[in-house]
A = this chain, B = another copy of it.
Amino acid sequence: MELPYHFRDDSLAALALTHRSVGKPNNERMEFLGDALLGAIVAEMLYETHPKATEGEMSRLRAQLVNGQALASLARELELGDQLKLGSGELKSGGFRRDSILADAFEALVAAVYLDGGFAACRETVRTLFTDRVAALPRSSKDAKTRLQEWLQANGWPLPQYELVATEGEDHARIFDVNCVVAEPMAITAPGRGSSRRLAEQDAAEIALNRLLESREGA
């Protein structure tokens, strides 16, 4: 696969593919910029394609798309390994095959496209490279209550209870407050709010599920 971008200034592409083992200048600074640009452009793709996903869900999906292994695999498809400039030590030890070096070069290349062609060109390039990967993500078409229930069942834990805590406001603009309670050993009480009891329960289930997933990631 070829990079879907043609450089005006080839020296930017060359710098992006120059590993620090060569000395200075190298691609480390570009990697910082490219990582940030990639994060923003992929964030926007997820924002558009996953209109129901919460912040936490989008953040997890992005981590699936933009991690060292995933970027190294993209770098291999683009055959960046053959184009890398490495110091002799890294050359001998096969650095052009290493995930971290390939992923860094890919990120630097994203910055090089930005510096060469501007944001629109960079965004277009990244979107082209990630379209299939984004499309292959789970759509999580299931609602939050279903996902929470399935996750708890899969782990052999007790199912959640939903409690109406309060209602506020006039009849035509009522707000419902509920709690989603997951018993020991999870012992989580997550608040939800919405214009119907159903929406409030979905909201609470989503918060409960995010907390459970975060506590597992932290473990």
Which one of B35, B47, B120, B203 contacts A119 once the chains associate, using CB atoms below 8 Å?
B120
One complex includes copies of this chain to the number of: 2
**Is the pair B43, A32 in contact by a Cβ cutoff of 8 Å?**
yes
**Is the pair A29, B43 in contact by a Cβ cutoff of 8 Å?**
no
Taking CB atoms, residues of chain B closer than 8 Å to A36 are 36, 39-40, 42-44
**Is the pair A193, B119 in contact by a Cβ cutoff of 8 Å?**
no
**Is the pair A55, B43 in contact by a Cβ cutoff of 8 Å?**
no
Query: Chain A 177-219 against B: per-residue CB contact (8 Å), 1 yes, 0 no?
Result: 0000000000000000111000110010000000000000000
A168 near B: Cβ within 8 Å?
yes
Which one of B47, B114, B168 contacts A33 once the chains associate, using CB atoms below 8 Å?
B47
* Chain A residues touching B, range: 35 or more
**Is the pair A29, B54 in contact by a Cβ cutoff of 8 Å?**
yes
CB A63 to nearest CB in B, in angstroms, measures 12
CB A143 to nearest CB in B, in angstroms, measures 13
**Is the pair B23, A193 in contact by a Cβ cutoff of 8 Å?**
yes
Given A54-B28, A119-B120, A193-B87, also A33-B23 (CB < 8 A): no
CB A31 to nearest CB in B, in angstroms, measures 6
A residues 31-90 in Cβ contact with B at 8 Å: 31-33, 35-37, 39-40, 42-44, 47, 53-55, 58-59, 87-88
Give 16 pairs: A residue, B residue, CB < 8 Å, sorted on A: A23-B193, A23-B194, A23-B199, A28-B55, A32-B43, A32-B47, A33-B40, A35-B43, A37-B43, A39-B39, A39-B40, A47-B111, A87-B175, A88-B168, A119-B120, A119-B123
